[in-house]
Amino acid sequence: MAKLTYIKAITDGLDVVLGEDPKTLIFGEDVGKNGGVFRTTEGLQDKYGEDRVFDTPLAESGILGLSIGLAATGWRPIPEIQFMGFTFEAVDSIGGQMARNRFRFSGKRAMPITIRTPFGGGTHTAEMHADNLENYFVGTPGLRVVTPSNPYDAKGMIISAVENNDPVLFMENLKLYRSMKDEIPEGKYTVPLDTAKVVKEGTDLTIVAYSAEVNEALKTAEKLEKENISVEVIDLRSLSPIDTDTIFKSVEKTHKVVVVQEAQKMAGVGAQVASEIAEHAIMNLDAPIGRVAAPDSVYPWAQVENDWLPNADDIEEKAREILNY
Amino acid sequence: MAKKTGQTIDFASIKAKMSDPYKKPLQVVDETGKIVNQELFDSFSDEELVDFMKKMVWERALHEQTMNFSRQGRLGFYAPTFGEEASEMGSVSAFTDKDWLFPAYRDLPQLIQHGASVTQGFLWSKGNAVGDDYGDTRAWFPQIIIGAQYVEAAGAALGLKKNGEKDAVAFTYTGDGGTSQGDFYEGINFASSFQAPAVFMVQNNGWAISVPRKTQTAAETLAQKGVASGVPGVQVDGMDVLAVYIATKEAREFAAAGNGPALVETLTYRFGAHSSAGDDPSRYRTKEEEKPWFDADPLIRMRKVLTDKGLWSQEQEDKLVEEYKNDFKASMKEAENTPTQSVVDMLKTTFEEPTPQVKADIARFEAKESK
């Protein structure tokens, strides 16, 4: 066991899959000698060679199109899109191509591609570097969208993602990269790609969140705990599919729910969670479903970023509103 | 600011000369049936010459029969190949079953020559994904998103190189319109950067639905588009099956030998409409424009050459066409007897392990579809 940051936990997971499966390949912009602009792939080219870990020309559609052709010829690609905002350049490769190919080939051919991409606010990046674009991708049949909220899950989930035989969009939170550490077991372990996790048990209110907002939700839960309000916090981990069973079980217990996301509010993950609860578990509710999300503007530039991002105070305000309903 | 400007670099001259190396399309037999390159012509055996003609007759018969089926309402989307027989059969004949094909929607004849069945072609058109189940044949499905096949072919070429496969390439097709896509450039550039064995075919048939070739680019040739990414390109008379074959074969040999990708632009013409549904070329092009291209029909010149050599007769051709069409009718029967896909089939092939939401949909549609 070693204490590792979120980013080093991912590096460790990539090391495991490269070591286990000689058909795995890591490629993208700056991932080779430079080890990635955040150093996520640091040391991997030295260890596994330039054939397995390599830089590409600067073109996102090319990177993901390359992944499809490599998968066709027997490889297991792990491309990196340097920032999630850049996936706009490659939407066809994801939604038009790799996610549909299992169907196109009647289930006979697989696209075992894991697209790693950093996202998330609060680090004052340039424009288009922090956007939460999951809302664009969760409605893509054939594509899994996952995002870990802590280093332990990050390593276990990257290994599961690479081993999965369908395309996985693996979202890595920029703010979490170096802000938290966990005890990480050495070698291989996996964390399932399709189950949410109850990260804190409680009986009065359920907060459903994912990625960095899980930490904000936990802050709120701790604060309310001092007033003897017991809050259950669920980390979705998988944004598509959504593990509704874990959510329904919690709502059955607490009867109140607040759904939190860092992304803008319109038609996304939080809306889907709320609608699943409304459709299947509304009789268990004692109050309306509360939602916390970013305003429906474009992702803000750095100076207003911290005012725009939903934080523990916003979650607390909404939680009290729902608790006092 | 320098006092004298506009005299240091002669941009006008650079522009004027850019296309120079690409403007002599390779030709073996001209549109009148005259052999213009005897040495190249003599490199083909009689048997090979007849084989090329047979393939073109097959493709034209396939087109005609497909249009009939289409008019009878027995098919879905179909992109006519009429006029492009030399470009398609000449090029595909240069590849082997070790090569990976990434076709676009007008490339069904090459896909079939490469290993798919005619029945599968019909099933694809009818909207049954069984038509894309090629087994071990190294072929991708007919791409609809123009340009996507180029970046994917680059990936397959890199995959072949990493697999250490010798004498194997990835090859792909697009049209003149396709060369305007970002993916066109990304595809040739990625393949070139990795020196991967890819052959990029551009079938310049003059029209992207109603938009003429000259609107796509001010570049005089499409072959020269390779230059910026270090990919050698060549123009070839796309109505001359022998010229297309030679250029493609040599492009393949170049790529397979580890020299990186190559690009071949075939100058051809879409005799018919863009697709079998609704497009009317008379809205955007004139009979005057069409006439010389119809005269350049790839079958006319080859028919003359072979007839002159005593290797071909109209009677023989008519008999072949009838045989082919009977085969196509049998394939259509087979396609029509193939079970229709169900929504459950689709759901089951969305993920390897259906997600809970997909499982719920499967249950819903199993109940619905078993009624």
Burial state string for B132-154 with b = 16 or more CB within 10 A and e = fewer than 16: bbbeeebbbbbbeebbbbbbbbb
Q: Quick check: is B270 catalytic?
A: yes
Tell me what pLDDT residue B369 has: 83
Q: How far apart are the CA of B127 and the nearest CA of chain A, in angstroms?
A: 10
- Paired sense of beta strands A231-235 and A197-200, if any: antiparallel
Q: Which range, of B33-47, B150-164, B357-371, averages the lowest pLDDT?
A: B357-371
Contact list, A244 vs chain B (CB under 8 Å):
356
Mean predicted lDDT score pLDDT of chain B: 96
Tell me what pLDDT residue B371 has: 77
pLDDT at B1 over 60: no
Q: How far apart are the CA of B196 and the nearest CA of chain A, in angstroms?
A: 11
Closest CA to A63 of A15, A30, A37: A30
In a mutational test of the A interface, the residue from B195, B340, B350, B359 whose CB has the highest number of chain A CBs within 10 Å is B350
- Could you say which DSSP state residue A7 is in? H
Classify burial at B107, counting beta carbons within 10 Å of its beta carbon; exposed 0-12, middle 13-18, buried 19 or more. Answer: buried
Q: Do B129 and A96 touch (CB under 8 A)?
A: no
What structural domains and CATH numbers belong to chain A? 2-184 (3.40.50.970), 197-324 (3.40.50.920)
Host H or E run for residue A94: none
Contact list, B145 vs chain A (CB under 8 Å):
92, 96-97
Tokens representing B365 are: 């549609």
Question: Among all residues of chain A, which has the CA nearest to that of B184?
Answer: A62
pLDDT tens by residue, A243-287: 999 999 999 999 999 999 999 999 999 999 999 999 999 999 999
Question: Among all residues of chain B, which has the CA nearest to that of A97?
Answer: B148
Of the candidates A124, A129, A255, A280, the residue annotated as catalytic is A129
Q: Do B189 and A62 touch (CB under 8 A)?
A: yes
Residues 6+ apart with CB under 8 A from B84: B106, B203, B205, B238, B268, B269, B270
The rounded distance, in Å, linking the Cα atoms of A248 and A214 is 18
Please list the alpha-helical segments (H only) found in chain A. 6-20, 44-48, 60-72, 91, 99-104, 134-137, 151-163, 212-225, 244-254, 269-280, 305-308, 312-323
> Which of B158, B183, B357 is nearest residue A241 as measured by Cβ atoms?
B357
Contact list, A59 vs chain B (CB under 8 Å):
182, 186, 189-190
Q: B5 falls in which pLDDT band (50, 70, 90)?
A: low
Residues 9-48 of A with CB under 8 A from B: 25
Mean predicted lDDT score pLDDT of chain A: 97
ipTM of model? 0.96
Q: Quick check: is A124 catalytic?
A: no
Triad A64, A70, A72: Cα angle to 5°: 110
- Could you say which DSSP state residue A29 is in? S
The rounded distance, in Å, linking the Cα atoms of A207 and A234 is 6
Closest CA to A142 of B307, B355, B201, B271: B355
- Paired sense of beta strands B170-175 and B100-102, if any: parallel
pLDDT at B2 over 70: no
The rounded distance, in Å, linking the Cα atoms of B103 and B79 is 13
The rounded distance, in Å, linking the Cα atoms of B53 and B317 is 9
> CA Rg, chain B, in Å?
22
Tokens representing B139 are: 């072929």
Tell me what pLDDT residue B370 has: 83
Q: B277 falls in which pLDDT band (50, 70, 90)?
A: confident
Tell me what pLDDT residue B6 has: 64
pLDDT at B208 over 60: yes
Q: Quick check: is B274 catalytic?
A: yes
Q: Are A77 and A25 in contact (CB under 8 A)?
A: yes
Q: Are B90 and B248 in contact (CB under 8 A)?
A: yes
Q: A1 falls in which pLDDT band (50, 70, 90)?
A: confident
Mean pLDDT value of segment A74-81: 98
Mean pLDDT value of segment A59-66: 98
> Which of B130, B153, B163 is nearest residue A69 as measured by Cβ atoms?
B153
Mean pLDDT value of segment B247-271: 98
Amino acid in position A281: A
Q: Do B190 and A92 touch (CB under 8 A)?
A: no
Host H or E run for residue A107: none
- Paired sense of beta strands A114-119 and A231-235, if any: unpaired
Q: Do A166 and B351 touch (CB under 8 A)?
A: yes
Of the candidates B63, B270, B301, B303, the residue annotated as catalytic is B270
> Which of B100, B349, B356 is nearest residue A72 as measured by Cβ atoms?
B100
Mean pLDDT value of segment A206-221: 98
Q: Does any CB of chain B come closer than 8 Å to the CB of residue A70? A: yes
Closest CA to B175 of B150, B158, B153: B150
Tokens representing B228 are: 């910026």
HEC states along chain B?
CCCCCCCCCCHHHHHHHCCHHHCCCECCECCCCCECCHHHHHCCCHHHHHHHHHHHHHHHHHHHHHHHHHHCCCCCCCCCCCCCHHHHHHHHCCCCCCCEEECECCCHHHHHHHCCCHHHHHHHHHCCHHHHCCCCCCECCCECCCCHHHHHHHHHHHHHHHCCCCCCCEEEEEECHHHHCHHHHHHHHHHHHCCCCEEEEEEECCEECCEEHHHHCCCCCCHHHHHHHCCCEEEEECCCHHHHHHHHHHHHHHHHHHHCCEEEEEECCCCCCCCCCCCCHHHCCCHHHHHHHHHCCHHHHHHHHHHHCCCCCHHHHHHHHHHHHHHHHHHHHHHHHCCCCCHHHHHHCCCCCCCHHHHHHHHHHHHHHCC
The rounded distance, in Å, linking the Cα atoms of B195 and B248 is 18
pLDDT tens by residue, B11-44: 999 999 999 989 899 999 999 999 999 999 999 9
Contact list, A71 vs chain B (CB under 8 Å):
155
Q: Are A25 and A55 in contact (CB under 8 A)?
A: no
The residue with tokens 């509704």 is: A244
Closest CA to B299 of B18, B6, B33: B33
Tell me what pLDDT residue A107 has: 94
Maximum CA pair distance of chain A?
A: 60
Tell me what pLDDT residue B4 has: 65
Q: Do B155 and A106 touch (CB under 8 A)?
A: no
Tokens representing B87 are: 């470009």
Contact list, B151 vs chain A (CB under 8 Å):
61-62, 64-66, 68-69, 93
Q: Do B346 and A103 touch (CB under 8 A)?
A: yes
The rounded distance, in Å, linking the Cα atoms of A119 and A173 is 5
Q: How many CB atoms lie within 10 A of CB B156?
A: 33
Residues 6+ apart with CB under 8 A from B291: none
> Which of B190, B348, B352 is nearest residue A62 as measured by Cβ atoms?
B190
Host H or E run for residue A169: strand A168-173
Closest CA to A64 of A105, A40, A29: A29
Q: Does any CB of chain B come closer than 8 Å to the CB of residue A166? A: yes
Of the candidates B60, B274, B301, B303, the residue annotated as catalytic is B274
Contact list, A28 vs chain B (CB under 8 Å):
none
Percent of chain B residues past pLDDT 70, beyond the cut: 98
Contact list, A97 vs chain B (CB under 8 Å):
145, 148, 152
Host H or E run for residue A263: strand A257-264
Closest CA to B319 of B142, B67, B57: B57
Q: Do B141 and A75 touch (CB under 8 A)?
A: no
Contact list, B102 vs chain A (CB under 8 Å):
69
Triad B301, B304, B307: Cα angle to 5°: 150
Give the residue numbers in B contacting A (CB under 8 Å), as ranges: 100, 102, 129-130, 132-135, 140-141, 145, 148, 150-160, 162-163, 170, 182-183, 186-187, 189-190, 193, 345-346, 348-352, 355-358
pLDDT at B50 over 90: yes
The residue with tokens 């399709």 is: A194
How far CA A131 is from CA of A118, A179, A215, A287, B303, in Å, comes to: 9, 19, 19, 31, 62
Residue A88, helix vs strand vs coil: helix
pLDDT tens by residue, B120-143: 999 999 999 988 999 999 999 999
Q: Which range, of A108-117, B17-26, B265-274, averages the lowest pLDDT?
A: B17-26
pLDDT at B181 over 60: yes
What structural domains and CATH numbers belong to chain B? 11-340 (3.40.50.970), 342-370 (no CATH)
Closest CA to A81 of A89, A73, A72: A89
Q: Does any CB of chain B come closer than 8 Å to the CB of residue A243? A: yes
Q: Are A114 and A162 in contact (CB under 8 A)?
A: yes
The residue with tokens 């595909």 is: B92
